[in-house]
Structure 1
């Protein structure tokens, strides 16, 4: 493989690893911030169905903020067989008091996903560096 091809491959690998690492770290920071400063409230699962044209059904959660505003927000996680989120049920959510549309579903913060994104990103960065140095 020519040196130009190795440099190009290393560059793409390093950039994609950086994007994945930053995505994971931003997600973890958001989850930590909501755990620390978020407000817990019970939300009503209003309906299920595709939100935003997705194939995975994401229910709409309806809750009232501390200042009396009624919010309807698509769930940050899709319904699944393990956690079906049936219509009419109540779930505990934690929302950001400064931006009540930003929330996490209590117990479903998806930290494993964020850690895996950060880990894969770090591996890609190291792989790109190894290509350049090797």
Structure 2
């Protein structure tokens, strides 16, 4: 069997691959023409009446950080305002010791309170 010359008829496998390629091209072009647009258009904006927003935002949460009394925040803020670093450190230690009890009651520990005390202590100049 010799090497086929130019212009010879391609083998059946080559013809099959060529037709498969043409079919894929036709499917792709047909999908582009018949399919939906590629751009996703956001839904139109709706406006909320001002009365709805005002009634929702007026009531403060019952607890500070959803678990502490607001008086505790006022107390920590007062200590920070006075720059009482010893009292802030004492409050930090008490919050650390209360971690397991707070975690048992609320499902989360006192990390949020400890972070708040640290931030106000640092802002008051207790660490430098």
TM-score (norm 1): 0.24
Would you tell me which structure has more helix in proportion to its own residues? 2
TM-score (norm 2): 0.24
Would you tell me which structure has more strand in proportion to its own residues? 1
Higher RCO (Cα < 8 Å, 6 or more apart)? 1
